[in-house]
Amino acid sequence: MNPVDSRLAELCAAHGLDAALVPRFRALLDGLAADPTAPTTVVDPTAAVEVHVADSLDGLGLPLVREARVVADIGAGAGFPGLVLALCLPGAQVSLVESVGRKCEFMGRLAAVAGVTNALPVHARAEAWPAGIGAHDLVTARALAPLTALVEYAAPLLAEDGHLVAWKGARDTAEEADGAAAAAATGMELVEVWPVPPRPGADRRHLHVFRKAEPTPSRFPRREGMARKRPITAA
C-alpha cells in the first residue's frame, strides 16, 4: 500500500470509518491533483491528504456532525470539508455553497470523479440564498471569514437547534468576542471551542461550535457583503 493510501486507512480507522472509503477519498485526491483549475494551491496527494482530508475529518470528533442530515458547507471553495463529510455521512444531503461559478463547476467534477452523489454545488452567496433559509441542521465553514461573519451567514440558514461548526486555527480573543456579539444579535449561542487533537501541520486547530437557540431576527440576512463591510463587533 502506498503512503497516501496507508494514511487514508489510518484516518478511517481513527474515526471509525469503513475501510471501503479509502479508494473514495483517494479518488478525491487524484481528481484534485489532475484538475489544473483546482481552486487551491495544495493539490499533491501527499500534502492534500493532511490539509484537506484529515482536516475535514476532524469534524467527526463532534457527535452533532456525525448526526447531521441536512448540511450547508458555506464558502465551499474546492469542496472541503463538504465532499469529505458527504462521503462519511451517506444519509445526509450536503449543499456546497459557493459564490464563484468556476469553483462550483470544479466541485461538480470532483464529486463526479469520486462518486459523491449526496453533495450538490449551489452557486450562491450564503446571505443571498433564499432556498436555504431555515433548512439546515448543520452549517460548516473552513478558512472562510472571521467568526462574526460566519455566525451571521449561518444563523438564517439553520433550523432552530441547528449548529454552526467553524474550522479555525489558533484562538483569538478579539475575534471570539466579536463572534459572541454576532451570536447574541442573531439568535445563536456559543456551545464550545473544541481543540482538535494535534497532528503534523495542525497543532493549533480549533472547531468553534454555535447553536441556534432562538429565531433569527427578521433583519437578517443583511445585504450581500454587509457582514464583512460592517461586521457586528463587541466594541
User: Which pLDDT tens digit goes with each residue over 209-222?
Assistant: 999 999 999 999 99
Question: Residue 126 annotated as binding?
Answer: yes
Domains delineated in the chain: 3-229 (3.40.50.150)
| Cα radius of gyration rounded to whole Å, the chain | 17
What number is the average pLDDT over the span 146-169? 97
Check whether 20 has a pLDDT greater than 90.
yes
Q: How far apart are alpha carbons 52 and 50 in whole angstroms? A: 6
Question: Residue 25 annotated as binding?
Answer: no
pLDDT, residue 221, reads 95
Contact 162, 136 (CB under 8 A): yes
- Structure-block grid coordinates of residue 200: 503534523
Please report, rounded to a whole number, the percentage of residues in the chain having pLDDT higher than 90.
94
Question: Residue 127 annotated as binding?
Answer: yes
Check whether 131 has a pLDDT greater than 80.
yes
pLDDT, residue 80, reads 97
Report in angstroms the alpha-carbon separations of 13 from 7, 64, 86.
10, 20, 18
Question: Residue 80 annotated as binding?
Answer: yes
pLDDT-derived band at 202 (thresholds 50, 70, 90) equals: confident
What number is the average pLDDT over the span 28-33? 97
Question: Residue 227 annotated as binding?
Answer: no
Which residue, 213, 34, 229, is CA-closest to 145?
229
Which residue, 133, 124, 150, 160, is CA-closest to 207?
150
Q: How far apart are alpha carbons 134 and 159 in whole angstroms? A: 4
pLDDT-derived band at 107 (thresholds 50, 70, 90) equals: very high
What number is the average pLDDT over the span 1-11? 95
Q: pTM of the full predicted structure?
A: 0.96
pLDDT in tens, 49-95: 999 999 999 999 999 999 999 999 999 999 999 999 999 999 999 99
Check whether 203 has a pLDDT greater than 90.
no
Check whether 201 has a pLDDT greater than 80.
no
